[in-house]
Amino acid sequence: MEYKPTSGHGIQGHFYLPRSGGHAPFALDVQLDIPGRGVTGIFGPSGCGKTTLLRCIAGLQPCENGSLAVNGETWQSSGNKRNSLPVHRRPLGFVFQQPSLFPHLSAGENLEFARKRARQKVSDDEYREITELMGITRLLSQQPEALSGGEQQRVAIARALLIKPRLLLMDEPLASLDQMRKREILPYLEKLHRSLEIPILYVSHSVEEVARLADHLLLMDEGKIVNEGPATALLSRADFPVQLGDDLGVLLEAQIAQQDSQWSLLSASFDGGSLWLRDTGEQVGDSIRVRVLARDISLTREEDMQSSILNRLPVQVEEICPDRDPAMMLIRLKPQSASAAASDANVSRLIARITRRSVHQLSLEIGTTLWAQIKSVAIVR
């Protein structure tokens, strides 16, 4: 999935916000060109300015030196205060990090608050569709304080959708939730992704979330965009600009090729070979996205048939990079079992994170052929 923004489509703009007082250690300085469809993940370490960027786009953070056009509609133009729409006139939906339902209204009244002020009339069918999509139909009579954090956040997302926005902004909507609630809410976000026509900007510092949700990715560090591009391509680079440590890994687009009911396994083929996965109910032919973490790959000179590890791929060393940790190295690997049809550039790469000592012992260099043993593969979508 690759989106090419064209003029009049997508989100274009720039923001320059000088650092102020003790708050921001750096200036926000970004040039935006974001696809007009799909989920764009804004990813970076805590305090890199991603939330500030989102607030600038929403108009919650006044930014005099900024411009913004969303799908051909100007929201703000540089140096002209009058041309900057106030927040309440921008056709956007915003989901905050903390669940932020109005405490004096019930869940249903919170939704009504939005419905009354929607950009266009919300029909009863649309209302039902949105509440069903978020799975909150039975919660509407409750007061916010009686709902769990995850439920509150689902109501807040439904509320943002009822405004009929042209752009949905989500500021780490899962950050305030515990692991269980996150898992509970992620499937709703995926459904949202599939059923919404409008662009979504999703701010997160979790690789797991962006790997699962984002089509396009903006990487930010110290107030600047350091890289952008399709999520799968960007997350698969060994020289990933934001240090991920244990979270580094590649994202592969794959298809279920066969089902092995005897061992409850699935075989998925990607453009560099095929992998065995635990059978989690996918059907043959389904497109999936899998994530292989760099720390889950070990390398052997010979194929180890005696190993408990099922997934072994012949690979060739393409690049060796130092890791942030002086004991570790990152090795970019090109799978060798690629079908003849896949051209060299299209073959998905793998990244292994191994100790510097192992690199020395195996005397790895560029071009060495090896076996990559993959300890675990996670379906993210």
Mark out the alpha helices in 214-285 (DSSP H runs): 231-235
For residue 176, how many other CB atoms are within 10 A of its CB?
A: 16
Please report the beta strands in the chain, taking only residues with DSSP state E, as ranges in sequence order: 11-17, 28-34, 39-43, 65-70, 73-76, 92-95, 167-171, 200-204, 216-221, 224-230, 249-260, 265-270, 273-278, 287-293, 297-300, 311-322, 328-335, 350-355, 369-374, 378-379
Q: Which is nearer to other proteins, 113 or 276 (CB)?
A: 113
Q: Which residues bind other proteins (CB under 8 A)?
A: 58, 60, 86-89, 92-94, 96, 98, 100, 102-104, 113-114, 117-119, 145, 159-160, 163
User: What's the CA angle centered on 14, arms 10 and 16, to 5 degrees?
Assistant: 155
**Gap between the Cα atoms of 39 and 165, Å rounded:** 15
Please report, as a single letter, which amino acid is at residue 380.
Answer: V
If you write DSSP's letter for every residue of 317-328 in order, what string do you get? EEEEEE-SSTTE
